Amino acid sequence: MRAPSIRVVARLLGYEPADLVWDGLCPECGSDGMRVSGERWSCRKCGSGGDSLDLWAASRSVPRPTAMLEIGLRLRAGPPSGRRTA
Ligand SMILES: [Zn+2]
């Protein structure tokens, strides 16, 4: 399975992606240093970054395979009906 679009993942995580390049709160350090460009994100404060799976993994503190699984489940489940606690 290919990594899902970072915009899809970002929406699931509660971000509101603007254009192709947008800023947000870093899932790793919590600063406003995160920038998303194309399918990659990076943080200029703590140096974290990666693709959509890394974004989910960092936000939820899970390894990448778990991130893939969770994203798949969320996408199949449709619109979020409330956050589950991990
Ligand atoms: Zn950071």
Handedness of CA 49, 52, 58, 59 (dihedral sign): positive
Q: What's the whole-number average pLDDT of the chain? A: 90
Position with higher pLDDT, 83 vs 22 = 22
pLDDT at position 69, please? 96
Question: What residue spans define the domains of the chain?
Answer: 6-76
43: CA distance to ligand 1 center in Å?
5
Please name the fold of domain 6-76. Answer: DNA Primase; Chain A (3.90.580)
Task: Please say whether the beta carbons of 6 and 51 come within 8 A.
Answer: yes
**In Å, how far from its chain's centre is CA 43?**
13
Q: What is the pLDDT of residue 83?
A: 57
pLDDT of amino acid 77: 80
70: CB partners within 8 A, 6+ apart: 56, 60, 62
Q: What's the predicted TM-score (pTM) here?
A: 0.84
Q: How far is the CA of 73 from the centre of ligand 1 (A)?
A: 27
pLDDT digits (tens, 9 = 90+) for 45-74: 999 999 999 999 999 999 999 999 999 999
Alpha-carbon gap, residue 67 to 82, rounded angstroms: 18
Q: Which residue has the higher pLDDT, 75 or 85?
A: 75
